[in-house]
Structure formats: structure tokens, C-alpha cells
Amino acid sequence: MKLLFTMMSIALVTTPGLAMAQADEVIVTAQRRSADDYNSAQPAVGLKRTADFAVQEVTITGDTRDPKGRSNEIYATLANAIAQAPKSGVQLAYGTQTIQPITLRNYRDLTLARDSRPDSQKLTLLIKAPLQNGRDAQAAEAAITAFVKAVRLEGRALMETSDDLTFSIVDPDQYRPAIADVIAADAKAMAAKLGPDYGVEIEGLNRPDEWNRAGLSEVLLFIPYKLVIVPKR
């Protein structure tokens, strides 16, 4: 998609068909979402906003000698975590890029993996703390830490954090019109600075949204577009 911006008129077209049919929740890291055929350069212009959740990876491990007893202790500890979560103001989820909630209906669907020690297994999940009402990443991390300590452990099961804090955002494609507004405003300002003999073209607005971590509690949502200066004919 290619658009021409001048000082006299501005047109911005988005593609409604790109909207996702389902409101997914995605993990936001310091790296771009992988895209095989896109330029890796991130544009300077995007929409910065506070993430919806702080997300912490947590691992439940067990080393009871009996395999069935070990499995039962790990899953029972997870069930206790599900019961404790509302009291601690957090939520449980699973997944790597797009994440789903963990409930008493599906918690036993999570697969146990081998741990680094003999006769031990582990189960990895995510703890989410909402970033709202002035809560920042530090406060969210404290809430997650308190939650992990509050969960009742079963048998020889242990529960501990296992990775750095990251973030998630719900339905990132809902921000596509706002991202387009930011791009349009920047292109209009650039065209005005160039003078009457030049304009700018925008290429790539048909590409899907992407996202990066942009601060302590913020994410940057953007479309990997390209801004080109062109002489007027």
C-alpha cells in the first residue's frame, strides 16, 4: 500500500480485513514479533501505551519418587494457585506468544516436563498482574511475588519464579486506527517541513501490527511502514 502526503491534503486508508476475528492477548518482549519477509527496522513512529498486564513465568516442580504421587502434588499445587489467584488480585495463564487463561476446567491439560534432576518434573505457567489504577511494573511484580508465597504447596512440590518480568496486551489490533492516526499526523508534519516542492509517500500500511516493549511498564504498537520523500510532479 502506497500513499502520497502533501501540504494541502492528506489521505489515510487502512484495511478493515486485517482486524483479528478474536480478541487475543499477546506477550510483549524486547524483540519484535517474528515476520519472515519484513524489514527488521522498526519505524520511529508508533503508539505508546501502558501494557495491560505484567507477566511473570512461574515453575511448579516436584521430586516425589512415585511418578503418580509426584504428578498429583504438582497439579494439586496448581489447583491451590488457581484458588488463591483472585484473593491476590492476579490471574493464571499459559502460552508463549498468544496466551490463554488457566482454570479448574483445563489445568490438568497442561503438560508436565522433565526437570533437570532425576525423578523430578516441572510445570510452567504465567502469572498476570493488571497494570491499572496507577499500578506500575514494580507494584505488579510485588503482587506476583506475594501471590507465589501465599500459594499452599502440596507434598514436595515447589513453586518459584523462573524468568524475567514481561508484559502482555489484549487485542493489539484494536489500536490499529490509533496507530494510523499517529502515522498520518507525523507524515503531515513532515510534508509541511519539506516545502511546496516535495511530499512524502507511505508504504506498507497493509502490514500487520507489531509490538515492542518501550519502557518500564509501556509498550509500543506500530505498523512497519516506510516513509519516502518524493518530489511533486
Residues 193 and 120 in one domain: no
Residue numbers of the domain that contains 161: 53-167
Q: Return the higher-pLDDT residue of 195 and 68.
A: 68
User: What value, to the nearest 5°, has the Cα angle with vertex 33 and ends 127 and 78?
Assistant: 20
Asked if residue 101 and residue 66 are part of one domain, the reply reads yes
Residues 71 and 129 in one domain: yes
Same domain for 58 and 112? yes
Task: List the CATH number of the domain containing 99.
Answer: 3.30.70.600
Q: What does the alpha-carbon distance between residue 191 and residue 173 come to, in Å, rounded to a whole number? A: 27
| 79 lies in the same domain as 116 | yes
176 grid coordinates: 490499529
Asked if the model's pLDDT at residue 32 lies above 80, the reply is no
Across the range 26-38, mean pLDDT stands at 58
Report which residue type is found at 164. D
Judge if 207 and 104 occupy the same domain: no
Mean pLDDT of the chain: 85
Among 145, 167, 189, give the residue marking a domain's end. 167
Q: Given pLDDT bands bounded at 50, 70 and 90, which one contains residue 40?
A: low
How many CA atoms lie less than 13 Å away from 40 in the CB half-sphere?
A: 3
pLDDT digits (tens, 9 = 90+) for 178-212: 999 999 999 989 888 888 888 888 898 899 999 99
Of 160, 135, 164, 157, the C-alpha closest to 149 is: 160
What burial class does residue 96 get, using C-beta atoms within 10 Å of its C-beta: 0-12 exposed, 13-18 middle, 19+ buried? exposed
- Is the same domain home to 68 and 43? no
52 is written with which cell numbers? 495491560
Looking at the fold, whether 57 and 159 belong to one and the same domain comes out as yes
Helix (H) or strand (E) holding 201: strand 198-203
- Does the pTM of the predicted model rise above 0.85? no
Is the pLDDT confidence value at 64 over 70?
yes
Predicted confidence at residue 30, as pLDDT, reads: 60
| Under 8 Å between Cβ of 170 and 100 | no
In the chain, what percentage of residues exceed pLDDT 70? 85
Q: Are residues 62 and 160 in the same domain?
A: yes
Same domain for 36 and 57: no
Domain count, the chain: 2
